[in-house]
Amino acid sequence: MSDASPVTPSKARLLERVPGLIGALSASPFALLMLFGFVAPLLCVVWFGFMPSKTFSLLQTPTLENYATIFNQTYFKSILWSLGLAAVTVVILLVICFPLAFAMAKIFKGAASFITYAIATSLFVSENIRLFGWVIGFMKRGVVGGTLETWFGLQTDSLLYNIPVIILGMVYVYLPFMLFPLVLGVKMVPDQVREAAFDLGASRWQVFKKIDLPLSMPGVMIGSLLVFVLSVGAISEAKILGGQKVVTIASDIESEFTYAQNWPLGSALSTMFIALTTVVVFFALSRFDLEKLLGKKPAE
Within residues 187-226, the interface with other proteins by CB under 8 A covers 190-203, 206, 210-211, 214-215, 225-226
What's the closest the beta carbon of residue 37 comes to other proteins, in angstroms?
4
136 binds other proteins (CB under 8 A): yes
The region of 63-71, 87-95, 109-117, 158-166 touching other proteins under the rule CB under 8 A is: 109-117
Interface region with other proteins, contact rule CB under 8 A, candidates 37-45, 60-68, 73-81, 157-165: 37-45
Q: With CB under 8 A as the contact rule, which of the stretches 63-71, 87-95, 154-162, 283-291 interacts with other proteins?
A: 283-291
Contact (Cβ atoms closer than 8 angstroms) between residue 22 and residue 15:
yes
Residues in region 240-259 near other proteins by CB under 8 A: 240, 250, 253-254, 257
| Cα–Cα distance measured from residue 164 to residue 246, given in angstroms and rounded to the nearest whole number | 11
Contact residue for other proteins among 119, 163, 221, 260 (CB under 8 A): 119
Taking residues 59 to 88 in sequence order and writing x for each that binds other proteins by CB under 8 A, - otherwise, the string is ------------------------------
Site size for other proteins (CB under 8 A): 119
d(CA 178, CA 140): 31
Which lies closer to other proteins via its Cβ, residue 73 or residue 121? 121
> Of the two residues 36 and 76, which places its CB atom closer to other proteins in the complex?
36
SS3 of 222-248: the string is HHHHHHHHHHHCCCHHHHHHCCCCCCC
Which stretch, 61-69, 73-81, 102-110, 154-162, contacts other proteins (CB under 8 A)?
Answer: 102-110
Single out the residue of 34, 91, 275, 279 in contact with other proteins (rule: CB under 8 A). 34
Helical segments of the chain, H only: 11-17, 21-34, 40-48, 65-72, 75-102, 110-121, 127-138, 143-152, 163-187, 191-199, 204-207, 213-215, 217-232, 236, 249-257, 263-285, 290-294
**116 with 253: CB under 8 angstroms?**
no
SS3 268: helix
Interface pattern 5-24 for other proteins (x via CB under 8 A): -------x--x---xxxxxx
Confirm if 119 and 175 have CB atoms less than 8 A apart. yes
Give the one residue of 70, 131, 160, 165 binding other proteins; rule: CB under 8 A: 131
Minimum CB separation from other proteins for residue 70, in Å?
A: 15
Q: How many other C-beta atoms are found inside a 10 Å radius of the C-beta of residue 56?
A: 9
CA 180 to chain centre: 13
267 touches other proteins by CB under 8 A: yes
| Of 271, 269, 277, nearest in space to 69 by CA | 269
Distance of CA 7 to the CA centre of its chain: 55
Contacts of 58 (CB under 8 A, 6+ apart): 44, 47, 48, 51
Of 154, 269, 264, 284, which is closest to residue 219 (Cα–Cα)? 284
Q: How far is the CB of 89 from other proteins (least distance, A)?
A: 14
Give the nearest distance from C-beta 157 to other proteins in angstroms: 14
**Can you tell me which of 9, 58, 60, 113 binds other proteins, judged by CB under 8 A?**
58
